[in-house]
Copies of this chain bind each other. A is one copy, B any other.
Amino acid sequence: MTAARPKEIRFNALEQGNPSFQSFGLWAHPRDKAIDYTSQRYWADYARLLERGLFDNLFIADVYGMPDVYRGNSDGALRNGSQAPSVDPALLLPGMAAVTENLCFTMTGSATYERPYQFARRISTLDHLLEGRLGWNIVTSYLGSGARAMGLDGLIPHDRRYEMADEFCEGVYRLWEESWGEGALQKDKATRVYADPSRIKRIDFDGEFHRFSAIHATEPSPQRTPVLFQAGGSSRGRQFAATHAEGIYLNGTTIEIVRDKIATMTKELESLGRSRDSVKFFAGVSVFVDETDELARATYNDYLQWSSLEGLISTMSGIMGIDLSQYPLDEPIVYEENDSNRTALEMFTRNNSWTLRQVLDEKALCGTNMALVGSAQHVADELIRWMDETDLDGFNIARIVAHETYEKFIDLVVPILQERGRYKTEYAPGTFREKLFGETRIPETHVAGSFRR
């Protein structure tokens, strides 16, 4: 399945505005800097580092609420700084953009809890300030605590959230693409015309979940619609991603899983009239690299000493929606044929004879990502193999220890990939979409582009 001309590998750094989010407890590691995640300097250093490594994108995940399924409260999450507390990802971007020129930034925004007019303005403002280096990770927010924080009695059912998200997206697309026609923005000091009202349209939106009547508040930004990311794994989530996503983040611990997921998504895309090339696929990976395999393994084992079982089990309970405290830690997990948790548990414990502790130990440092542990040569070999044996476009590399994870990766792995001609030696010019696809505006084959006037 090797392509005639091998693809260049793209990297996103995978982050969240939290003390720890995929390698729980590591904030306490002596060399970890995530304890400073509320400061601008922390994020500015981060952005400069990633730009030195020619990363495409810093991808900032986010949740509403705090994990509170484990033992029915957020104690475990708070005690371990596990996805809680958090900062608003949107506000991290302007400071980082100020110290970089090419690195792009993807912020998570909830299609369940945002309101179209406000959200569209916020995104347009950011796309202006970032000169088009913006992506939006569309999520539907899975925590019940997030629903209650937003005034609901509980979580809106999964598929219903995706229906809402389809409608939310239509609303913001129309504000971005339809409200200000081409040429509406004049900014002409000679004629003293700022904008031409005859080319500006009020959007009257009357949906099932959202309603508004407004001219888009903000003049057209470089990309108008930011680069759209999505990570939905369910059937309904895949349908949503096939409709909306330009970047798809998928998880898989084996090449076969990743290959199958891309093939499935490609079919979904094509059934909607979108080509395989209209989307970039990224797999989540956690990298533990050093000069030699032995040093890398030692690093892995050192990190493992700092991982927190309570932090991990709190977050996993939140993600699965199952209070894992009801299962014994050191015996194989047993569930009945009709256990309502069965499907989730099966996905979680693919090896039936494992105990909960064994499952959690395996996930302690890398969550649901595949893990690569070894020398720079080994890691580079593996990344290339994954590229060539699947149809991936690149990887989301998760933070384990800030900023050491990326320092080592950039110093050790990136030069090897460059030598092998599989990694860029300078950035492509322009906006995020231009760097990814060669065009700044979303294509007309995409639903957002269909609203262009």
Residues of A whose CB lies within 8 Å of any CB of B are 17, 19, 25, 27-28, 30, 35, 38-40, 44, 64-66, 73-75, 78-81, 84-88, 90-95, 97-99, 113, 115, 117-118, 121-122, 124-126, 128-129, 131, 145, 148-151, 187, 189, 192-197, 200, 210-219, 221, 306, 308
Determine which of B25, B187, B217 lies in contact with A66 in the assembled complex, contact meaning CB atoms within 8 Å: B217
Let me know if A195 and B79 touch, CB within 8 A: yes
Let me know if A74 and B125 touch, CB within 8 A: no
Residues of B within 8 Å of A25, CB to CB, are 192
Residues of B within 8 Å of A122, CB to CB, are 88, 90-91
Let me know if A66 and B215 touch, CB within 8 A: yes
Let me know if B194 and A19 touch, CB within 8 A: yes
Residues of B within 8 Å of A74, CB to CB, are 197, 200, 215
Shortest Cβ-Cβ A-B pairs, 3 listed? A81-B194, A149-B214, A75-B197
CA distance A35 to B185 in the complex (A): 11
A74 CB → nearest B CB, Å: 6
Tell me the nearest residue of chain B to A199, going by C-beta: B78
Let me know if A212 and B148 touch, CB within 8 A: yes
Let me know if B27 and A194 touch, CB within 8 A: yes
CA distance A75 to B39 in the complex (A): 42
Tell me the nearest residue of chain B to A29, going by C-beta: B189
CA distance A64 to B196 in the complex (A): 20
A408 CB → nearest B CB, Å: 21
User: Assuming A28-B189, A97-B40, is B91 touching A126 (CB within 8 A)?
Assistant: yes
User: Assuming A30-B189, A95-B98, A189-B28, is B85 touching A219 (CB within 8 A)?
Assistant: yes
With A65-B214, A117-B150 already in contact, 20 other A-B pairs whose C-beta atoms are closer than 8 Å: A27-B194, A30-B189, A38-B218, A38-B221, A66-B215, A66-B217, A80-B194, A81-B194, A84-B195, A85-B217, A86-B121, A88-B122, A90-B122, A92-B129, A113-B118, A115-B150, A118-B150, A148-B213, A151-B212, A192-B308
CA distance A219 to B85 in the complex (A): 6
Copies of this chain? 2
A252 CB → nearest B CB, Å: 31
CA distance A87 to B99 in the complex (A): 21
A312 CB → nearest B CB, Å: 13
Let me know if A129 and B79 touch, CB within 8 A: no
User: Assuming A85-B217, A151-B210, A213-B149, is B78 touching A195 (CB within 8 A)?
Assistant: yes
CA distance A87 to B306 in the complex (A): 43
Residues of B within 8 Å of A192, CB to CB, are 25, 28, 80, 306, 308
Let me know if A195 and B85 touch, CB within 8 A: yes
Residues of B within 8 Å of A94, CB to CB, are 40, 91-95
Let me know if A200 and B121 touch, CB within 8 A: no
Tell me the nearest residue of chain B to A311, going by C-beta: B194
Residues of B within 8 Å of A87, CB to CB, are 121, 124-125, 128-129, 218
Determine which of B35, B44, B131, B189 lies in contact with A187 in the assembled complex, contact meaning CB atoms within 8 Å: B35
Residues of B within 8 Å of A125, CB to CB, are 17, 38, 87-88, 91-92
CA distance A219 to B65 in the complex (A): 13
Let me know if A149 and B30 touch, CB within 8 A: no
A23 CB → nearest B CB, Å: 14
In this complex, the member of A27, A86, A195 whose beta carbon has the largest number of chain B beta carbons within 10 angstroms is A195
CA distance A79 to B193 in the complex (A): 5
Tell me the nearest residue of chain B to A219, going by C-beta: B85
Let me know if A218 and B85 touch, CB within 8 A: yes
A116 CB → nearest B CB, Å: 9
Tell me the nearest residue of chain B to A95, going by C-beta: B94
29 pairs from A and B in contact (CB 8 Å cutoff): A25-B192, A38-B129, A39-B128, A39-B131, A64-B117, A65-B214, A66-B215, A74-B197, A75-B197, A79-B193, A79-B194, A79-B196, A80-B192, A84-B195, A85-B216, A85-B217, A87-B121, A87-B124, A87-B125, A87-B128, A87-B218, A88-B121, A88-B122, A88-B125, A93-B94, A145-B214, A148-B213, A149-B212, A192-B308
Residues of B within 8 Å of A221, CB to CB, are 38
